[in-house]
Structure 1
Amino acid sequence: MPASEDIRSSTSAASAAAPATGARRRRSWNGTDLALIAVFAALTAASVAVPPIPAGNVLGVPITLQTMIVALAGLVLGGARALAAVGLYVLLGLVGLPIFAGFQGGLGVLAAGSAGYLLSFPFTAGLIGVLAGLVLRRSAKVGTLTTVWLFLAATAGTLLTHALGVAGMMLNGQLALPAALVADLPFIPGDLVKNAVAAAVALSLHKAFPDLLRRRRR
């Protein structure tokens, strides 16, 4: 092969490899991503300082602020980072830090009636984050209508929390499905309100920092 053709071939190969390398770098987390994950994990833990409200169900599972922070994490961070942030929070609580509702911690919470709700949090945050990413990447302009879509994304994630919460009450509380559904009902109105607040806060953050999720499309 002539030397000139060899040089052109090498240049073409390097050019083809460069976008792939850049794409890998863009997909990796940087210091800002890790900081956001840590901040939302801490924010979720701090939310337990707000006293839980008794929901009046047979298993004593209370209404807490945690579900709003979980929704906010998904709406702000996107799927992977939200799952990591809330997953870190749950992991730290399971190893013993008193950062669950009522300042509880440790593996003993897995036997409580609220175990299903708690274990759903990382997956709920991840699902909300994926849906929020789709909304924001398809929105030419972040406006009032975006708030509605973000609320619907948060509500879709809430369905997962309630499904796993009901399953947890059936397993740990020995409740039949109808009884578990009745025990879950008091959480629904509050979660809808919290989702609306989370969507409004997330919209403000995305207006102020449009690269939070949109930069992922570049």
Structure 2
Amino acid sequence: MERSLTHIALFAALIAVLGLVPQITLGAGVPITAQTLGVMLCGTVLGARRGALAVLLFMALVAAGLPLLSGGRGGIGVFTQPSAGYFIGFPFAAFVAGWVMERTTLPVGIAAGAASVIGGIAVLYIFGISGMAIVLGKTLSEAAMLGMAFLPGDVIKVVLAGLVTQAIAQARPGSLLSRPQTLPVSAFN
């Protein structure tokens, strides 16, 4: 239990640290940040339940007013911004990425990449695009077109999540909580 709490707190801190990477804000008011990489890693490394809990801890700190989102944003006001859908989707994205990791027998690196695409892109975009449509008063099609601007960066984050998860599995297999220890570690087994 104590080990799980430590991992949850550590990954919540990782998401916060990734917010220090300078953001790039697009015309729609939704910033490109490195924090979604942290959300992907929560799922691929910690698994569904712990990954979602790490993200929920991070979100609680932001909602309490800590300026942990990229650009120093925090407080309840983040739920009214064009990026609110993405923020609300963070725990769902981590949960789904972790769920995929826990259930696939693919090698770790490939599984983490696939889990990141499904959770960190597909699920997150459902929430994010819906949120942009509501906040900006756009149709879902218009919001989806705006959301596609994030895809190239998110593909890079998927690759990074796969590589980082693979490196953790090789260096410290016991730290990869999303997989039974009997599954292959090598990316190409």
Same fold (TM over 0.5): yes
Pairing partner for 1:154 from 116, 139, 152: 116
Pairing partner for 2:36 from 67, 70, 73: 67
**What do residues 71-92 of structure 1 show as CA deviations (whole Å, max 9, x unaligned)?**
0111100011000001100111
**What do residues 109-139 of structure 1 show as CA deviations (whole Å, max 9, x unaligned)?**
111000000010011001101111223xx35
Greater helix proportion: 1
**Separation (CA, whole Å) in 2 of partners of 1:37 and 1:105:** 20
Gaps of 5+ in 1: 1-29, 140-144
Partner of 1:164: 127
Counterpart code for 2:117 = T
1:164 CA drift (Å): 0.6
Structure 1's consecutive aligned runs of 4 or more residues displaced over 6 angstroms after TM superposition are none
TM-score normalised over the length of structure 1? 0.78
**Separation (CA, whole Å) in 2 of partners of 1:216 and 1:84:** 22
Q: Is the 8 A contact 2:102 2:180 kept in 1?
A: no
* 1:1-218 equivalence runs, <5 A: 30-55=1-26, 57=27, 59-135=28-104, 138=105, 145-157=107-119, 158-211=121-174, 212-213=176-177, 214=179
**Separation (CA, whole Å) in 2 of partners of 1:110 and 1:131:** 28
**What do residues 124-164 of structure 1 show as CA deviations (whole Å, max 9, x unaligned)?**
001101111223xx35xxxxx53222211110012010111
Q: Which structure: larger Rg?
A: 1
**Separation (CA, whole Å) in 2 of partners of 1:187 and 1:50:** 16
Identity %: 36
SS at structure 2 position matched to 1:34: helix
Question: How many matched pairs?
Answer: 179
**Separation (CA, whole Å) in 2 of partners of 1:46 and 1:201:** 16
**Separation (CA, whole Å) in 2 of partners of 1:197 and 1:45:** 17
